[in-house]
Structure 1
Amino acid sequence: MPGWEGSDRRLRLPPDWDKIRKRILRRDSYRCKIRNPHGQRCTEPAVDVDHIVNNDDHRESNLQAICDWHHKKKSGAEGAAARTAAIRRTAKKFTRTEAHPGLL
């Protein structure tokens, strides 16, 4: 599910998130903080504030201004990693208790 649908993330944000968000955007001059592999900063305007480390740490040192494209890319990668981890946890729980019928 893309976006906020099916997520409790918005509920876990602090009540003053809008003020924090505005402060971070101002701090970062409304410019995306993501850098390419060569260390060059993205030139797109920042419209979102993102957690650098994906958790509920809302300290300003863990927040960055980010453009829409990079935010979608980063969030998509984090979501895919979480889904993969969940599948692996589920797969580890399954253990065969009998021999495979083709091996009998």
Structure 2
Amino acid sequence: MAWKESPTAWRTTPRPLGWKALRAQALERDGGQCTWTDGGVRCTEPGTDCDHIGNPDDHSLDNLRMLCGPHHRKRTALQARAARGPQPSRRRPAEQHPGLIR
């Protein structure tokens, strides 16, 4: 018997009742287009993923926007990097020359 995971099992916050209607409203409001802007230029790809702008527990329409798949993955990666905090340098410190006097 194959194990089957629910499509929302990984989510930290469950989607509310009426999620499909909220998503449809956000899709209509955003014109079915990705809302990601880079240098003031809006992405022209279709909006396929509904993204929470702020708090993931806030499912209000003002906190939702449509993103294309690549921009949603980019945003998620940026959020994950910020959550991890600063990482230690992977470079070895430069060694002082033994003949230098300081």
Answer yes or no: same fold by TM over 0.5. yes
Residue 7 of structure 1: aligned partner: 10
Displacement, 1:51? 0.5
Displacement, 1:8? 3.0
Return structure 1 stretches of 4+ with deviation > 2 angstroms: 4-9, 79-82
CA RMSD in angstroms, aligned pairs only:
2.3
TM-score, structure 2 length as denominator? 0.67
Q: Secondary structure at the match of 1:33?
A: coil
Alpha carbons of structure 1 residues 5 and 63: separation in structure 2 relative to 1, 3 Å: closer
Alpha carbons of structure 1 residues 50 and 23: separation in structure 2 relative to 1, 3 Å: same
Q: Secondary structure at the match of 2:50?
A: strand
Q: Secondary structure at the match of 1:12?
A: coil
Residue 60 of structure 1: aligned partner: 61
Name the one with the larger strand percent: 2
Query: What amino acid is the match of 1:7?
Result: W
Q: Secondary structure at the match of 2:41?
A: coil
Question: Residues 1-104 of structure 1 correspond to what in structure 2 (within 5 A)?
Answer: 7-9=10-12, 12-36=14-38, 38-82=39-83, 84-85=84-85
Displacement, 1:81? 2.5
Tell me the number of residue pairs that the alignment of Structure 1 and Structure 2 aligns: 80
Taking the aligned partners of 1:23 and 1:29, their CA distance within structure 2 comes to 10
Structure with higher Rg: it is 2
